[in-house]
Each structure stands twice: as structure tokens, then as C-alpha cells.
Amino acid sequence: ILNVEQSPQSLHVQEGDSTNFTCSFPSSNFYALHWYRWETAKSPEALFVMTLNGDEKKKGRISATLNTKEGYSYLYIKGSQPEDSATYLCALFGAGSYQLTFGKGTKLSVIP
């Protein structure tokens, strides 16, 4: 069973602050790392799919990096806005598997 850990579990930031959170996974069983954003009363939305060590992806004010050798990924949000409030999920696509194993998520609340 793959173990995907996310930290922190939740955080509150002021509008305009930049923030980041972490996803840790077993580096020995890596195939791809997915990030999703899940807003309340909506469906999870794919942000990034990352496969290569050193990958960096960017979408507007949100970016992510990947280190497969040490088994972690960081998600950064620059200049947080209230609409960024959501739960951010990371998920591992493990070698030999056709399913995603999700972490429990980081719940972000941006205070106007």
C-alpha cells in the first residue's frame, strides 16, 4: 500500500500572502504525481501531472515542483486570493498500477 502524506493538514493565510505545501511519497515506487484542487460543492479539478525529476509546472499564480529521488513535491501559490480557498490533493500513480493513491489533502483558507 502506497503512503502519500500531505502537510500541513490545513492552513489559513491572508489575501495577498504566498504559501506552499508539501506532498511526500515513497520514491521507490514513483510513476507520476498529480495535483488536484477541490473546492467546496464542486468536483476535484486537475492542476498538474508531473513525471520527471526536477519537473516544474506553472498555471497562473500556482506552481509545483517535483523531486522523485527524495520523494516530495511542493505546491506554491503566489499572492493568495479568496478564490484559491480549496482542498489541494496530491496523488501518486505508482509503478505497475493503474490507479491514483491520494493524500488526505491540505485545506487552504484565504482570508480577505
Write the single-letter amino acid at 91. Answer: A
| Residue 48 C-beta: closest distance to another protein, Å | 8
Radius of gyration over every alpha carbon of the chain, rounded to an integer in angstroms = 13
- Tell me whether residue 16 or residue 69 sits nearer to another protein (CB atom): 69
- Tell me whether residue 76 or residue 102 sits nearer to another protein (CB atom): 102
- Which residues partner with 38 through β-bridges? 87
Residues lying near another protein in the complex (CB under 8 A) are found at 4, 31-32, 34, 36, 42-46, 49, 51, 89, 91, 93, 98-105
- Tell me whether residue 72 or residue 102 sits nearer to another protein (CB atom): 102
Where b means 16+ CB within 10 Å and e means fewer, 65-88 reads bbebeebbbebebeebeeebbbbb
Quickly tell me which residue has 492542476 as its cell.
47
